[in-house]
């Protein structure tokens, strides 16, 4: 077995690592730390959790301090605080106090970093501490490092990806098994890929937090998370995959952002992607990040985005970066500037209507679209569906999504609709 570089021998005493939150990821981090060979430059010193007694494990060294008092961890000699509690409170408070006390922080908390990353980075800098959050996006895929350092010589103008494994799992189930959204969701919950309340995942908020972080690191643009439009995948049905396949495409939840001059386009939404694109090859709960640079073209990163072990690898890699003295040189938000954001990408679109069939429907739809100066590209109708709830698809030539949204407001009012129409952009392979 290869020896991790975390074990590189060092004359300095090992840095002491405190873990806040001893759930799946926390215990996986502790496992890796406890598996390190003697002489490693980092070691587990503290575990903090509410009611910590029920969390104790027999495989941790006897000198690890188990605590339910954050203040006692804060006042201890721990050098690095690993925050794995998640969410805003009390994580925000704990991270703020740790950095203020000059302790370095490693976190997997995408929500916290998306909302407060720049301020927390600045707080770290002022206090001579490091703040690392490689685990906050795409779990075990080291994409933050790659955008920050590995592609520092390029000028990135676009980042995109499949950032939520739950959505990808559900969508690939709809595709491969033809089940309903509700069935796919229940399956994902049973398989441990979705929470009891799936809102954050399926409605795009989880992916949005990650996209905001990637936008900041890759495109050097700070955008408020709440201003990035999210479209839920709840409207997508198995029939959409039939039509997508006919168009040489499949459907994925795509997060993307693009920097132009002084504005950013960003969105999280289900979209048609060409069957030969890297996006289409990502199945199950895998994650993918694509970056496009002015000089180097497109680079792709993929792997396990979630799960205790993958996320733990990212956390420990950040701890190692701090121990190696590399993390403070990173300045993760250096030079990022606040920019206005909208979801108004220009692209081709797919609309699936479900109608109570009668003569004149296509004419009515075409008229509305013409009024908004939107051109129809093609009309697809698969046989074998009930005339009272007939799904058919219109594809549109490229237009800004805001223009389509205005047209959709009119289309939704037409009296033959038996379900709200579903719109998705049709992306190109380059995305």
Q: How far is the CB of 370 from a copy of itself (least distance, A)?
A: 36
The CA distance from 174 to 240, in Å, is 9
Q: How far is the CB of 80 from a copy of itself (least distance, A)?
A: 13
> For residue 43, what are its two tokens?
């070691």
Contacts to a copy of itself from residues 194-223, by CB under 8 A: 218-221
* CA triple 156-310-300, angle to 5 deg: 25
Among 329, 370, 402, 409, the residue binding a copy of itself under the rule CB under 8 A is: 329
The CA distance from 353 to 424, in Å, is 12
Q: By CB under 8 A, tell whether 234 contacts a copy of itself.
A: no
Task: Indicate the DSSP class of residue 63.
Answer: T
Q: By CB under 8 A, tell whether 125 contacts a copy of itself.
A: no
Residues composing the chain: 431
Q: By CB under 8 A, tell whether 12 contacts a copy of itself.
A: no
> Closer to a copy of itself at the Cβ: 79 or 185?
79
C-alpha to C-alpha distances, 314 to 126, 244, 311, nearest whole angstrom:
25, 35, 5
CB of 392 within 8 A of CB of 353? yes
Handedness of CA 271, 273, 275, 278 (dihedral sign): negative
**Which of 410, 166, 391, 411 has its CA nearest to residue 287?**
166
> Closer to a copy of itself at the Cβ: 218 or 425?
218
Query: Beta strand 390-400 with 346-355: parallel, antiparallel or unpaired?
Result: antiparallel
> Closer to a copy of itself at the Cβ: 35 or 386?
35
Task: Indicate the DSSP class of residue 227.
Answer: G
Q: By CB under 8 A, tell whether 3 contacts a copy of itself.
A: yes
Q: How far is the CB of 20 from a copy of itself (least distance, A)?
A: 18
Residues 6+ apart with CB under 8 A from 412: 420, 421
Among 113, 137, 146, 162, the residue binding a copy of itself under the rule CB under 8 A is: 146
Among 19, 82, 123, 141, the residue binding a copy of itself under the rule CB under 8 A is: 141
Q: By CB under 8 A, tell whether 156 contacts a copy of itself.
A: yes
From the list 103, 126, 210, 382, the catalytic residue is: 210
Q: By CB under 8 A, tell whether 338 contacts a copy of itself.
A: no
Contacts to a copy of itself from residues 264-283, by CB under 8 A: 278, 281
The CA distance from 348 to 400, in Å, is 9
| 210 carries an active-site annotation | yes
Contacts to a copy of itself from residues 298-327, by CB under 8 A: 298-304, 309-310, 312-321, 324-326
Q: By CB under 8 A, tell whether 263 contacts a copy of itself.
A: no
**Which of 107, 161, 14 has its CA nearest to residue 332?**
107
Catalytic residues: 210
Binding site for a copy of itself (CB under 8 A): 1-9, 28, 32, 134, 139-146, 148-157, 218-221, 259, 261, 278, 281, 293-304, 309-310, 312-321, 324-326, 329-331, 334-335
């Amino acid at each position: 077995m290869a020896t991790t570089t975390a074990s590189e021998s060092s004359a300095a005493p090992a840095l002491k690592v405190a873990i806040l939150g001893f759930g799946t990821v926390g215990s996986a981090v502790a496992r890796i730390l406890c598996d390190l060979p003697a002489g490693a430059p980092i070691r587990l010193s503290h575990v903090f959790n509410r009611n910590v007694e029920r969390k104790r494990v027999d495989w941790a060294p006897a000198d690890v301090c188990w605590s339910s008092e954050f203040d006692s961890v804060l006042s201890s000699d721990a050098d690095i605080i690993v925050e794995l509690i998640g969410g805003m409170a009390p994580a925000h408070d704990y991270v703020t106090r740790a950095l203020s006390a000059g302790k370095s922080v490693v976190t997997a908390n995408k929500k916290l970093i998306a909302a407060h990353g720049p301020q927390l980075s600045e707080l770290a800098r002022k206090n001579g501490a490091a703040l690392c959050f490689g685990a906050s996006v795409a779990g075990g895929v080291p994409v933050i490092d790659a955008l920050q350092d590995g592609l520092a010589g390029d000028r990135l103008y676009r980042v995109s990806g499949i950032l939520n494994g739950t959505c990808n799992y559900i969508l690939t189930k709809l595709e491969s098994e033809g089940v309903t959204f509700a069935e796919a969701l229940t399956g994902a919950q049973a398989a441990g890929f979705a929470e009891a309340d799936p809102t954050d995942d399926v409605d795009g908020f989880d992916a949005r937090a990650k996209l905001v972080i990637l936008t900041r690191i890759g495109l050097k643009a700070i955008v408020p998370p709440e201003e990035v439009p999210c479209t839920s995948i709840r409207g997508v049905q198995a029939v959409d995959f039939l039509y997508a396949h006919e168009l040489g495409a499949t459907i994925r939840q795509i997060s993307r952002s693009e920097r132009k001059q002084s504005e950013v386009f960003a969105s999280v939404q289900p979209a048609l992607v060409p069957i030969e694109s890297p996006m289409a090859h990502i199945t199950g709960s895998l994650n993918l990040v694509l970056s496009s640079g002015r000089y180097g073209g497109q680079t792709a990163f993929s792997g396990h985005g979630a799960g205790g072990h993958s996320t733990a690898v990212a956390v420990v890699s950040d701890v190692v970066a701090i121990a190696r003295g590399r993390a403070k040189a990173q300045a993760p938000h250096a030079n990022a500037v606040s920019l206005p954001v909208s979801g108004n990408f220009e692209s081709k679109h797919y609309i699936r209507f479900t109608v109570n069939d009668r003569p004149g429907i296509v004419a009515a739809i075409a008229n509305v679209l013409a009024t908004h100066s939107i051109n129809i590209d093609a009309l697809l109708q698969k046989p074998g569906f009930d005339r009272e709830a007939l799904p058919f698809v219109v594809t549109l030539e490229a237009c800004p999504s805001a223009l389509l949204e205005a047209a959709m407001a009119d289309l939704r009012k037409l009296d033959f609709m038996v379900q709200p129409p579903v719109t998705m952009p049709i992306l190109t392979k380059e995305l």
